[in-house]
């Protein structure tokens, strides 16, 4: 019995020793686990990306992102890359909360231009190249190109501070200077021009021109009434050129001075614009650039109108339809004979209510000149003008 009691005592002692061992092992394991977890948390805080990469191994730090679970980094991925690849002083953390990313461990693709933040979290090398391309694609102020109307800016003509006062008159009444095309002596061309319209016969003239496929130029004296404006619009709509002739056609009045000529010109100019939406760029002097009424003022008027950019046209063929005693036969004969004596002809005709004979001979004139190898065209400021010799004073 004593032997069994002794053996039982030793067995109980052994069991107590094993229990103490188990307790020590549990304590040590608990402490070790605590140290591991504490170290892991410190790693996430200080090691940045390394801590994030360790998260999946522990099955921690996952949130639901769309159709699959994604890792939510504590800071922007771009900030982590900057910390690991640049020695520059780190930027202050964004005040905005971090956003989920489907691929946090890879560099995100370039954002749309409209989503570019004010502060870039990329390295200086990356941002230097991308900022330049983004500035162009996003329309940033640095890359903006001023909008233009598509038309060249017209510079007003210079005003001589010591020159005459009429240079300051009507400061908006000017057109750009136009380079003239060189004349081709082998080009047989006729420029039909009609003065003093529009009239009741304008429609007939336009119909004949359309029938023969001819464009012409009308130097007008239109009045500020709806009938005149409608006729002006019809001329323009059919593709013909409109030049300014005069408002009053009163020689004594308009040639009295440069100021008087400018006043008359400005009034007719506005009528043409109100009817067609276009200001005229060329004109013809009533009676021609040099006549018995403007011998004293012709040079000054021509100089001023040329300074303002306008081109004026005289003629080298006259139909004679404004001469006393003109007939249908004389109109046809004078026009054909004078035109065939030259290769470039600017033909003077008239478009008034009294010029029925001109209208009646127009088809025969067009047919004969076309058969003689001439082409017809309308004037524009690029056509070199035919002008009378200007008096020296």
Asked whether 175 and 279 are in contact (CB, 8 A), the reply is yes
Q: Which of 162, 153, 178, 195 is nearest to 308 (CA)?
A: 178
pLDDT at 20: 61
The per-residue DSSP string of 232-290 comes to HHHHHHTT-EEEE--SS--HHHHTS-HHHHHHHHHHHHHHHHHHHS----EE--TT-SS
Q: What is the CA radius of gyration of the chain?
A: 47
What residues does each domain of the chain span?
Answer: 185-376
Q: What digits encode the pLDDT tens for the residues 121-136?
A: 444 444 444 444 444 3
pLDDT at 300: 97
**Average of per-residue pLDDT across 8-35:** 59
CA atoms within 13 A on the CB side of 361: 23
Instruction: Indicate the range of 42-51, 244-253, 288-297, 338-347 predicted with least confidence.
Output: 42-51
Q: Please give the backbone phi and psi of residue 219, each rounded to the nearest 5 degrees, phi first.
A: -95, 110
pLDDT at 39: 54
Tallying the residues shown for the chain, one arrives at: 393
pLDDT confidence of 150, banded at 50, 70, 90?
low
The per-residue DSSP string of 58-118 comes to HT-SEEEETTEEEE--SS-HHHHHHHHH--SPPPPPPSSPP---S-TTSPPPPPPGGG--S
pLDDT at 37: 59
pLDDT at 378: 98
d(CA 355, CA 38): 112
Asked whether 174 and 157 are in contact (CB, 8 A), the reply is yes
pLDDT confidence of 100, banded at 50, 70, 90?
very low
pLDDT confidence of 229, banded at 50, 70, 90?
very high
pLDDT confidence of 91, banded at 50, 70, 90?
very low
Instruction: Indicate the range of 4-13, 301-310, 316-325 predicted with least confidence.
Output: 4-13
**Average of per-residue pLDDT across 351-376:** 98
Tell me: pLDDT of 160 over 80: yes
The encoded tokens of residue 156 equal 């007003």
pLDDT at 154: 80
Provide the percentage of residues in the chain whose pLDDT is more than 70: 61
d(CA 364, CA 354): 19
Positive or negative: CA dihedral 251, 256, 258, 259: negative
Positive or negative: CA dihedral 48, 51, 55, 57: positive
Which carries the bigger pLDDT value, residue 301 or residue 95? 301
Q: Does domain 185-376 have CATH number 3.30.70.60?
A: no
Asked whether 211 and 366 are in contact (CB, 8 A), the reply is no
Given the DSSP bridges, would you call strands 62-65 and 68-71 parallel, antiparallel or unpaired? Answer: antiparallel
Q: What digits encode the pLDDT tens for the residues 28-86?
A: 566 666 655 555 444 444 444 444 443 443 344 443 334 443 333 433 334 434 444 44
193: left (phi over 0), alpha (psi -120 to 50) or beta: beta
CA distances from 273 to 89, 195, 244, 340 (A): 67, 18, 11, 36
CA distances from 145 to 139, 148, 238, 275 (A): 9, 9, 38, 36
Q: Which of 200, 188, 201 is nearest to 362 (CA)?
A: 201
Asked whether 303 and 166 are in contact (CB, 8 A), the reply is no
| Contacts for 145 with CB less than 8 Å, ≥ 6 apart | none
Asked whether 280 and 309 are in contact (CB, 8 A), the reply is no
Tell me: pLDDT of 94 over 50: no
- Supply the mean pLDDT for the chain: 77
Positive or negative: CA dihedral 339, 341, 342, 348: negative
Asked whether 353 and 149 are in contact (CB, 8 A), the reply is no
Q: What is the distance of C-alpha 359 from the center of its chain? A: 44
Which carries the bigger pLDDT value, residue 43 or residue 376? 376
pLDDT at 278: 97
Q: What digits encode the pLDDT tens for the residues 174-196?
A: 999 999 998 898 999 999 999 99
The encoded tokens of residue 389 equal 């010799």
Tell me: pLDDT of 367 over 80: yes
d(CA 343, CA 188): 4
pLDDT at 152: 61
Instruction: Indicate the range of 86-90, 264-268, 271-275 predicted with least confidence.
Output: 86-90
**Average of per-residue pLDDT across 161-170:** 96
pTM, 2 dp:
0.63
**Average of per-residue pLDDT across 316-341:** 97
pLDDT at 61: 41
Tell me: pLDDT of 15 over 90: no
């Amino acid at each position: 019995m004593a032997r069994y009691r002794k053996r039982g005592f030793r067995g109980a002692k052994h069991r107590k020793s094993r229990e103490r061992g188990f307790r020590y092992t549990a304590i040590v394991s608990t402490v070790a686990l605590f140290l591991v977890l504490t170290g892991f948390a410190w790693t996430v805080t200080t090691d940045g990306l390394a801590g994030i990469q360790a998260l999946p191994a522990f099955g921690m730090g996952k949130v639901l992102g769309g159709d699959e679970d994604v890792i939510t980094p504590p800071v922007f991925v771009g900030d982590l890359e900057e910390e690991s690849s640049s020695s520059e002083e780190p930027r202050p953390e964004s005040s905005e909360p971090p956003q989920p990313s489907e691929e946090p461990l890879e560099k995100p693709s370039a954002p749309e231009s409209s989503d570019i933040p004010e502060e870039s979290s990329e390295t200086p090398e990356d941002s230097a190249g991308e900022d330049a391309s983004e500035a162009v694609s996003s329309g940033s102020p640095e890359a903006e190109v001023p909008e233009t109307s598509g038309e060249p800016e017209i510079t007003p003509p210079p005003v001589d501070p010591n020159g005459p006062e009429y240079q300051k008159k009507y400061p908006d009444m000017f057109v750009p200077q136009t380079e003239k095309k060189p004349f081709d002596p082998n080009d047989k061309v006729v420029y039909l021009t009609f003065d003093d319209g529009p009239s009741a016969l304008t429609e007939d003239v336009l119909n004949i021109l359309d029938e023969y496929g001819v464009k012409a130029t009308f130097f007008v004296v239109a009045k500020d009434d709806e009938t005149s404006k409608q006729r002006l619009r019809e001329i323009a709509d059919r593709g013909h050129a409109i030049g300014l002739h005069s408002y009053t056609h009163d020689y004594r009045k308009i040639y009295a001075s440069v100021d008087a000529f400018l006043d008359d010109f400005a009034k007719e100019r506005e009528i043409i614009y109100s009817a067609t939406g276009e200001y005229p760029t060329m004109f013809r002097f009533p009676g021609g650039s040099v006549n018995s009424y403007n011998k004293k003022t012709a040079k000054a008027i021509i100089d001023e109108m040329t300074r303002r950019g306008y081109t004026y046209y005289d003629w080298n063929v006259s139909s004679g339809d404004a001469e006393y005693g003109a007939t249908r036969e004389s109109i046809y004969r004078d026009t054909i004979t004078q035109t065939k004596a030259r290769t470039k002809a600017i033909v003077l005709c008239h478009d008034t209510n009294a010029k029925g004979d001109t209208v009646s001979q127009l088809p025969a004139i067009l047919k004969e000149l076309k058969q003689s190898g001439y082409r017809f065209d309308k004037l524009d400021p690029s056509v070199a003008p035919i002008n009378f010799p200007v008096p020296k004073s």
